[in-house]
């Protein structure tokens, strides 16, 4: 009888076992690393740009024929509703397209010579080359699209990549690797590992790894960064608390659908979900009531049901945590305008909390659940100060019809991106994306990741003819 450990994958809505996958031991993982490292060391067998482009174009075509299959896999294992999972799949296909097109933009530049007597008779230019082996550790909330961002970017940049999908949602990753294989990606260039965290740590901290792409908790990300081998570059994407500032002149009717979608999309399990909404006191109660009314209308349930708008949390333990945080806030003076209760072991009601204390967990930490907190303010400067007081700074938003107020707020909010008259969870895959301070470092976004996964090499040619 085998003593090999297995990973059990459960449907987050009904907790049924979907699949059981064998886990890899340390030797198997290190063999994968040696394979990737050997590929990178053998420069004669690097994949030329035109081959990478052709393969990624084939990947797109194969994915277009599997949209329904990929959608159901992502929805079943990750709990994101069918309609949103389908959007994720179409985004993923476009992400492959963006990466294939970006290959031709991985260029260097000419460096001027002859500006001093010592530099006469020379011509210089830079080229970009792959950084080396990439190790990617992924998260559950976008089980296909995050894998695209963490593997296709590396492959497109010319790097061998080893990816560890989230332990709750590895099936989309397996499906995608089969597509890569069908499209002609040579063996060893993109590998998947299913292993425990200690072995994964041994992988990413090995000196043969040149780049770590990590999406997940701040605690784990910063810990891994502290253990990286000298010279290993990293991009860390953690969470945020996504503050929104709403001035009294904001267009409420246009704003409400955006805030409700931004707060309750994927049951709030998005690193830039709308969480803290600071609203001018003259309209605050009205705005809170309208977000609550929108939340109450949303259909919560089975993600495979095409009518479902809000699915389950990833595990029952997360429902318990959200319930505890909301109960704590209500016991200490917050009002649950809507929701505030679990629906089942796996689902929680879309919830709007009125003015929870700033020392409650819902105000201090990333909720990662379907909960929006609304705080009235009289002084916008003070609201911005409170928004900036947390250690997490990722994406933020401001709603106003006044251009000067918008620009002033954009400048004063501590964030890597500020949306004007849109929710904090807006993203397209070609824009820069990432947190600052405790929320992460380095940039995501397909073109930006690809550039970070390459490095410049300078060539200086000396000639009497120059």
Q: Which residues are catalytic?
A: 237, 271
**Separation of alpha carbons 162 and 37, rounded Å:** 10
Query: Token pair 């409420």 is at which residue?
Result: 252
Do 375 and 276 meet the contact criterion of CB atoms below 8 Å apart? yes
**Separation of alpha carbons 86 and 70, rounded Å:** 8
Query: What's the half-sphere exposure (Cβ side, CA atoms, 13 Å) at 253?
Result: 0
Phi, psi of 455 (to 5 degrees): -140, 155
Taking residue 161's Cβ as centre, other Cβ atoms within 10 Å add up to 23
Cβ-Cβ contacts under 8 Å for 146 (sequence gap 6 or more): 138, 139, 215
Buried b (16+ CB within 10 A) or exposed e, 18-47: eeebebbeeeebbebbebbbebbeeeeebb
Cα 40 to the chain's mean position, in Å?
27
Length of the chain in residues, anyone? 466
Do 52 and 156 meet the contact criterion of CB atoms below 8 Å apart? yes
């Amino acid at each position: 009888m085998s003593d090999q450990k297995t990973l059990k994958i459960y449907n987050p809505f009904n907790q049924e076992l979907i699949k059981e996958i064998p886990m890899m031991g340390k030797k198997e993982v290190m063999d994968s690393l040696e394979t990737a490292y050997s590929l990178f060391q053998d420069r004669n067998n690097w994949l030329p740009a035109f081959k990478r482009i052709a393969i990624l174009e084939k990947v797109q075509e194969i994915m277009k024929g599997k949209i329904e299959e990929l959608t159901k896999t992502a929805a079943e294992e990750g709990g994101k509703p069918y309609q949103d999972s389908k959007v994720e799949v179409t985004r993923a296909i476009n992400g492959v397209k963006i990466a294939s097109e970006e290959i031709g933009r991985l260029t260097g530049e000419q460096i001027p010579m002859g500006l001093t007597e010592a530099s006469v008779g020379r011509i210089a230019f830079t080229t970009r080359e792959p950084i080396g082996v990439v190790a990617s550790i992924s998260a559950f909330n976008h089980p296909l699209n995050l894998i695209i961002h963490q593997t296709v970017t590396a492959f497109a940049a010319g790097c061998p990549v080893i990816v560890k999908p989230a332990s709750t949602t590895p099936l989309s990753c397996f499906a995608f690797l089969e597509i890569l294989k069908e499209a002609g990606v040579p063996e060893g260039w993109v590998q998947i590992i299913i292993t425990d965290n200690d072995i994964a740590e041994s992988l990413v901290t090995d000196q043969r790894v040149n780049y770590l792409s990590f999406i997940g908790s701040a605690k784990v990300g910063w810990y891994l960064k502290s253990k990286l081998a000298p010279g290993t570059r990293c991009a860390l994407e953690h969470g945020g608390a996504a503050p929104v500032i709403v001035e009294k002149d904001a267009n409420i009717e246009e704003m409400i659908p955006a805030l409700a979608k931004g707060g309750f999309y994927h049951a709030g399990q998005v690193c830039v979900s709308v969480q803290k909404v600071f609203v001018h006191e003259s309209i605050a109660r009205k705005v809170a009531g309208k977000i609550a009314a929108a939340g109450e209308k949303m259909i919560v349930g089975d993600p495979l049901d095409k009518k479902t708008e809000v699915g389950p949390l990833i595990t029952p333990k997360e429902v318990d945590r959200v319930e505890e945080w909301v109960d704590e806030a209500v016991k200490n003076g917050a009002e649950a305008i809507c929701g505030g209760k679990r629906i089942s072991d796996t689902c929680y009601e879309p919830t709007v909390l009125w003015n929870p204390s700033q020392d409650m967990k819902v105000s201090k930490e990333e909720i990662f659940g379907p909960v929006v907190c609304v705080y009235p303010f009289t002084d916008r400067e003070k609201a911005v100060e409170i928004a900036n007081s947390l250690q997490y700074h990722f994406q933020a938003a401001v709603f106003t019809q006044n251009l000067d107020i918008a620009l002033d707020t954009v400048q004063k909010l501590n964030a890597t991106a500020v949306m004007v008259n849109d929710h904090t969870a807006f993203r397209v895959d070609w824009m820069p994306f990432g947190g600052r301070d405790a929320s992460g470092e380095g940039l995501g976004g397909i073109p930006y990741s690809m550039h970070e996964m390459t490095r410049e090499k300078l060539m200086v040619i000396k000639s009497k003819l120059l």
